[in-house]
Amino acid sequence: MIDLELGPRNALGDQVATILRKAILDGSLKPGQLLHENVLAKQLSVSRSPVREALLQLERENLCVSRPNRPAEVRRPSPEEIRQTYTLRAALEGVAARWAAEMSTPELVAALRANAELLNEATVAAGGQSDPSLTGKAIAFHTTISRASGSAELQRMLESLCNQIHLVMSAGLANLTSRRAEEIHAEHLAIIDAIEKRHCDVAEKLARAHVEGARERLILLV
């Protein structure tokens, strides 16, 4: 379900855009799903005008596409876009893991283990069904590593890919098998172990391989 409760502040178009953006990025609204203006306006108890404004904003953010005389739809990333986005992400995540390992602390390792456990527990509980919370938990794990790298520039680079990563990741997490969920958890634990031991080369290699493996599986889903 999408949280469609509007707050008292900001322009209605901005509020609607915020709600729809969150729903797209966490997978509540899936790639290819139609965004009917009249349906959304009714759900939100607003006129079609702020909905139209919101959809135009989300199109500028590359999250949805509009079509003449047809409803807008949540954008579906192409295989080539996934390949490019996740190739860039793999390189950046690898460097982030290397630098995090260089500056590893017990506090960082504890935070990463807590994030990994939360994600694994939520994944197991979802049982292969779509769960919007999974994307946020997965992003939290990787964001903890990128922040620990100590590089504001690296974080900005990853943030520039944020929408594409969320869009692709939510589709992948919605199609997890129990076996793949176990593999992801094992990969996360291996990355944490390398960071804890300050094995910088290993941490970078594992983080890159983790994202590259996800890239190949996600390409097959589209």
Q: What secondary structure does DSSP assign to 34-89, as a single string?
A: EE-HHHHHHHHTS-HHHHHHHHHHHHHTTSEEEETTEEEEE----HHHHHHHHHHH
pTM over 0.75: yes
**pLDDT at position 64:** 93
Model pLDDT, residue 1: 45
Q: Which long-range contacts (CB under 8 A, 24 or more apart) does 64-68 make?
A: 64/20, 64/24, 64/35
pLDDT in tens, the chain (222 residues): 455 555 544 588 999 999 999 999 888 888 889 999 999 999 999 999 999 999 999 999 989 998 888 999 999 888 999 999 999 999 999 999 999 999 999 999 999 999 999 999 988 887 767 677 888 899 999 999 999 999 999 999 999 998 888 888 877 776 777 888 899 999 999 999 999 999 999 999 999 999 999 999 888 876
In 3D space, the residue among 97, 139, 149 whose CA is nearest the CA of residue 118 turns out to be 139
Kindly report the backbone phi and psi dihedral angles of residue 165, in degrees, each rounded to the nearest multiple of 5, phi listed first. Answer: -65, -45
| pLDDT at residue 27, as a whole number | 81
In angstroms, rounded to a whole number, what is the distance separating the alpha carbons of residues 139 and 125? Answer: 18
DSSP 157-206: HHHHTHHHHHHHHHHHHTT--HHHHHHHHHHHHHHHHHHHTT-HHHHHHH
3-class SS at 214? Answer: helix
Q: Which residues contact 28 (CB under 8 A, 6 or more apart)?
A: 1, 2, 22, 132
For 135, other C-beta atoms within 10 Å of its C-beta total: 23
pLDDT, residue 136, reads 86
Q: Which domains does the chain have, with CATH numbers?
A: 12-74 (1.10.10.10), 79-221 (1.20.120.530)
